[in-house]
């Protein structure tokens, strides 16, 4: 006799909100697995992180799937993200900003999947323009500097002129490209941009030094230790325990318990 997955009412309810009327074929092919995964991810984890509303949770999930290169899961979850309150412009901004933290080689396939999702769900392309800087060195530098200050404080105002040993150009590019081209865009708040950056970095692993910097950025944007722990915990089903524990260790180091 075939095994029947014993899904909790809460897991069934959340799954139905994400995918109305959809019955996963895993219930037929892998019922034991889907029983444990769905009950954990869509009941236990959701119930254990009440600090996150649906839009914020999906914003973090989509950034995390970019960071861990989970493109098949991204393809499946993108329509659910739109259904759960993440605006098309916000999803596009998450994908665009990922280029500076993951590189176009890893993000290009996600742009294609995102646009396929938009067209399949009736979202007209191209979406509205969101840039607030002009494509000139002066505008990008000025906007990028102000974005860095907004994210990290006045100590970053002279970052453009820092660096030594032949690497000065990287800091110039960071101000003009990462911050001037992307952080200055509309569609997400500064706090949301710092949050998705944290998720990109935590999900790809091996970048704990940068994760410390962006944990500080989240603190500067008003995020609390409890909120950041909830974000990392909510992302766990998509990146596993090792990267989750590394991210929690960084949060604990930068935002220690009182």
CA distances in angstroms from 230 to 46, 60, 113, 253, 254, listed in the order given: 10, 11, 28, 16, 15
Find the mean pLDDT for residues 28-42: 97
Q: With respect to residue 44, please indicate whether it lies within any of the assigned structural domains.
A: yes
Residue 106 — very low, low, confident or very high, per pLDDT cuts 50/70/90?
A: very high
Residue at which a domain ends, from 184, 215, 247: 184
Q: What is the pTM of this model?
A: 0.96
Q: With respect to residue 120, please indicate whether it lies within any of the assigned structural domains.
A: no
Residue 161 sits in which domain range? 131-184
Q: With respect to residue 206, please indicate whether it lies within any of the assigned structural domains.
A: no
Q: With respect to residue 216, please indicate whether it lies within any of the assigned structural domains.
A: no
Of the candidates 212, 195, 208, the residue with the CA atom closest to the CA atom of residue 243: 208
Instruction: Calculate Rg over the CA atoms of the chain.
Output: 19
Please tell me the distance from the alpha carbon of residue 118 to that of residue 112, in angstroms, as a whole number.
10
Q: With respect to residue 71, please indicate whether it lies within any of the assigned structural domains.
A: no
Reported as half-sphere exposure (CB side, CA atoms, 13 A), residue 156 has a value of 22
Contact 193, 95 (CB under 8 A): no
Q: With respect to residue 136, please indicate whether it lies within any of the assigned structural domains.
A: yes
Task: Tell me: pLDDT of 150 over 80.
Answer: yes
Cα four-point dihedral sign 183, 189, 194, 200: negative
Count structural domains, the chain.
Answer: 2
Residue 38 — very low, low, confident or very high, per pLDDT cuts 50/70/90?
A: very high
Contact 237, 200 (CB under 8 A): no
Q: With respect to residue 179, please indicate whether it lies within any of the assigned structural domains.
A: yes
Residue 45 — very low, low, confident or very high, per pLDDT cuts 50/70/90?
A: very high
Please tell me the distance from the alpha carbon of residue 45 to that of residue 25, in angstroms, as a whole number.
23
Residue at which a domain ends, from 147, 163, 184: 184
Task: Tell me: pLDDT of 232 over 80.
Answer: yes
To the nearest whole number, what is the mean pLDDT of the chain? 96
Q: With respect to residue 164, please indicate whether it lies within any of the assigned structural domains.
A: yes
């Amino acid at each position: 006799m075939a095994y029947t997955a014993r899904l909790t009412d809460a897991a069934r309810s959340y799954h139905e909100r994400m995918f109305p009327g959809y019955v996963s074929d895993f219930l037929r092919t892998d019922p034991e697995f889907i029983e444990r995964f769905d009950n954990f991810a869509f009941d236990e984890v959701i119930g254990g992180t009440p600090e996150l509303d649906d839009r914020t949770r999906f914003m973090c999930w989509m950034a995390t799937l970019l960071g861990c290169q989970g493109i098949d899961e991204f393809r499946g979850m993108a329509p659910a993200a739109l259904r759960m309150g993440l605006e098309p412009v916000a999803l596009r901004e998450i994908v665009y900003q990922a280029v500076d933290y993951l590189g176009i080689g890893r993000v290009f396939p996600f742009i294609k999947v995102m646009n396929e999702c938009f067209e399949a769900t009736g979202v007209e392309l191209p979406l509205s323009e969101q840039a607030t800087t002009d494509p000139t060195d002066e505008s990008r530098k000025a906007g990028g500097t102000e974005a860095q200050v907004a994210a990290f404080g006045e100590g970053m105002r002279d970052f453009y002129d820092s660096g030594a040993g032949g690497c000065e150009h990287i800091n110039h590019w960071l101000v003009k490209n990462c911050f001037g081209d992307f952080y200055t865009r509309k569609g997400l708040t500064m706090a949301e941009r710092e949050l998705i950056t944290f998720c990109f970095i935590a999900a790809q692993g091996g970048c704990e030094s940068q994760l410390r910097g962006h944990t500080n950025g989240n603190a500067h944007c008003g995020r609390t230790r409890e909120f950041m722990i909830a974000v990392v915990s909510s992302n766990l089903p998509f990146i596993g325990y090792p990267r989750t524990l590394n991210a929690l260790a960084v949060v604990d180091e930068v935002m220690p318990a009182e």
